[in-house]
Amino acid sequence: MPNIHVLRTELDRTISALKDSVREKGLGTTVGRVAAVAAGQAAFPVTKAMRQNETFDFHGERLPYWFARYNNAFLNERTVEVAIAHWFLSQKRGRVLEVGNVLVHYGFQADTVVDKYEVIPGVLNDDIIDYRPAEPFDSVVAISTLEHVGWDESPREPEKVFKAVANVRACAKPGGRVLVTVPLGHNDALDEGLRTGEVKFPAESYLVRDNRRNEWRETTADEALTKRYGHPYTGANGLYVGMVL
């Protein structure tokens, strides 16, 4: 078993190197982003060895954090999102639709993937608000995707996300299951929809990131919806999970 003190020393050194690289190059520059990714990749084996047995609470379960190199997932909200998706799909999945081409990078291939912008074989480049499956699905998942709909498009259409949420749910057959995860603090319209109840799922959870180690805990909507995207930690600092089970 690795010496925990050695691992902590190596991780601290790697994090220090990451900070130095970002300070020197500027995170907003291409070189700065490359430096940040490279330092994160160097930290991966140390972080995984230190934290491979750690868990977080979600929906009455204790789930293991998901550690993956792709997109430095172990350093951001993917560490809980992919874990939740794995738990959700392991319960009962049948035919699966994924909105946004995410989970294939973490070892799961949906039966159908709809992603408007990722032009690669096997992905349908339909807009989710227009997509109508020939047959509804047993399970529908959307991981960190819906917050971009209408918000990160030109022209910006803030109300479009509500149509997207409705159609994601409509793609599931009666009695089917749906999982949606949304980083908070990115899309103001979607956050406000969560506050007012315009976006509402039968089962809901809110999580927040507590520290630099990327540990997460379940909390109230009121606390999670105060979190800013990208501050104080990279990526999401608050996360919404909506489900139809």
CATH topology of domain 76-244: Rossmann fold (3.40.50)
**Angstrom distance (rounded) from CA 214 to CA 130:** 36
What DSSP state is assigned to residue 199? Answer: S
Q: What is the mean pLDDT of the chain?
A: 89
Question: What is the model's pLDDT at position 28?
Answer: 55
Model confidence at 21, pLDDT cuts 50, 70, 90, reads very low
Q: State the pTM of this model.
A: 0.85
pLDDT tens for residues 183-194? Answer: 999 999 999 999
**Angstrom distance (rounded) from CA 56 to CA 134:** 38
pLDDT tens for residues 106-142? Answer: 999 999 999 999 999 999 999 999 999 999 999 999 9
Angle at which helices 160-170 and 188-196 pack, to 10 degrees? 60
> pLDDT over 70 for what percent of the chain?
83
**Angstrom distance (rounded) from CA 242 to CA 245:** 10
In a 3-state reduction of DSSP, which class is residue 69? coil
22 has a pLDDT exceeding 50: no
Question: What is the model's pLDDT at position 52?
Answer: 86
Please say whether the beta carbons of 69 and 114 come within 8 A: no
Looking at residues 22-37, what average pLDDT do you find?
53
Please say whether the beta carbons of 88 and 76 come within 8 A: no
